[in-house]
Amino acid sequence: MSKLIKTRFAPSPTGFMHVGNFRTALYAYLFAKHNQGKFILRIEDTDQNREVADAEQAIFRVLKWAGLEHDEGPDIGGPCGPYRQSDRLEIYQKYSQKLIETGQAYYCFCDQDRLEQLRKKQQTQGLPTKYDRHCLNLSNQEINQKIKSGQKYVIRQKINSSGVTVFKDLVLGTIKIENSTLDDSVLIKSDGWPTYNFANVIDDHLMKITHITRGNEYITSTPKYIQLYQAFGWPVPEHAHFPLILNQDKSKLSKRQGDVAMEDYINKGYLPETMINFIALLGWNPGNDQEIFSLEELIKIFDLSKVNKSGAVFDIEKLNWMNSHYIKQKNLDELTELCLPYLKKNYPSQTASCQPKFVKLIVDLEQERIKTLSEIGDRVSYFFKTPIYSPEKLIWKKSNRQTTINRLQFVLEFIQLIPSQNWTRNTLEQSLLEQIKQKNLDNGTTLWPLRVALSGQEKSPTPFEIAEILGKKETIERIKQSIKKLQSK
């Protein structure tokens, strides 16, 4: 019987969920589900000083929004809990003592002043900055005396500094790192809490994680983790390290050049299916030209061996194109529900009093045009309040004020004759264009001021589409007001 595949996503609640963190979660999820395995969520909250309020709940919100359901975790439990590291402190103490007993770890009583002086001296001499094992050979008597006197201490890993650590990475291939470059890292801090370097190894083993997926910034630390597995006599999980996500200029993705937090994209109205599809392709290639994938399709074909070794550029234009694609695929009822929060945010009193059909017509009009859900709030203000614009804006290119007044008067007189039951965009367009042709007028000097009168904008849907939604009464009123504006100057 084949071994059950288990992956984990183990974020720290120290801030927003970065796009790179989300990609790590997504790849771990896809790999587990592709292999009929389990996807575990673990909260690594050992850095209490940097913990941010609501950050843990934000992690849950983003994963739920994306549909990446975990099989075990702090909120649902499981056979390997607890799944929050702050609830596992006794476990880490127990295993650190085992390492001390076998000589694989030791007490260190060096204070910050000594460590800082050591660092500066090594830098001055051009040496690598790492611990000098000053406390490695303390006798049990010395250790007990220092502890009894209340001296603070940490527990350090005793690294095997000879030879080379070799491991096969599922993305990058064979990796070799000289053990002489490794430092005796702290495993247990002076406050009794574990470091990430220690806790993640203990938890991955006890939670039976078979495949560890993470960013390639952890490659140089992997030999330390492997030595910990070996010190306990535990099997070493498979590793897969993912390349960086880059800005357009090939620098590391950072907030200086755009949004990097998943919640920023959620708040702007990028759809979950868009973000899953787009981020899956940031470093992974299916081997063909297909660009649109559902989550189910990704699960079916995802393969870690097809993750690229080089960094992936975050192309915002491609993201917008993809989100526009998914918006166009939505049925109108669902899209209206998705857009409604953005309309309510921009026009709270107006949306509270308008008819659902009115909102639905607006969303229908914008469905082919918007790239994000939030765009609709800025684009359709003229449906909820009378537009504000200068009279000069009504005048088409080489036209003039009097000609514009005449054209609007012509439109006003004609559309007043159209029965309310025939008030549709198609009827308005066909009948008005026919009248323009019969009167030997041109479209620009007639339709431009009509568009501005109804929307206040130079770029908008056609005046016929806008008029249909505004209705006959409001359309006539706005044309009258535009004529008054021109006449008052």
- Asked if 437 is an active-site residue, the reply is no
Nearest-CA neighbor of 363 among 393, 348, 342? Answer: 342
Q: How far apart are CA 438 and CA 208, in angstroms?
A: 80
The phi and psi torsions of 434 (rounded to 5 degrees) equal -65, -40
Burial readout 128-167 (b: 16 or more C-beta within 10 A, e: otherwise): eebbeeebeebeeeebeebeeeeeebbbbbbbeeeeebeb
Q: How far apart are CA 147 and CA 127, in angstroms?
A: 32
Residues forming a β-bridge with 6? 38
The phi and psi torsions of 175 (rounded to 5 degrees) equal -125, 135
Cα 43 to the center of its chain, rounded Å = 18
Instruction: Note whether 326 and 295 are within 8 A (CB).
Output: no
DSSP codes joined into one string, 74-92 = TTTB-TT---BGGG-HHHH
Instruction: Note whether 216 and 98 are within 8 A (CB).
Output: no
Question: How buried is residue 386: exposed, middle or buried, by Cβ count under 10 Å (0-12/13-18/19+)?
Answer: exposed
Which long-range contacts link 358-366 to residues 24+ away (Cβ below 8 Å)? 358/383, 358/469, 360/332, 360/333, 360/336, 361/468, 361/469, 362/469, 363/332, 363/335, 363/336, 363/339, 364/332, 365/461, 365/465, 365/469, 366/339, 366/461
Torsional sign, CA 25, 31, 34, 38: negative
224: DSSP letter: H
Token code pair at residue 352: 């509270």
| Amino acid at position 125, single letter | Q
**Active-site option among 98, 255, 318, 439:** 255
Instruction: Note whether 136 and 158 are within 8 A (CB).
Output: yes
Collapsed DSSP state (helix, strand, coil) of residue 37? coil
DSSP codes joined into one string, 264-294 = HHHHHT--HHHHHHHHHTSSB--SSS-----
Q: How far apart, in Å, are the Cα atoms of 380 and each of 87, 274, 363, 385, 470? A: 50, 24, 9, 9, 11
Active site residues per annotation? 255
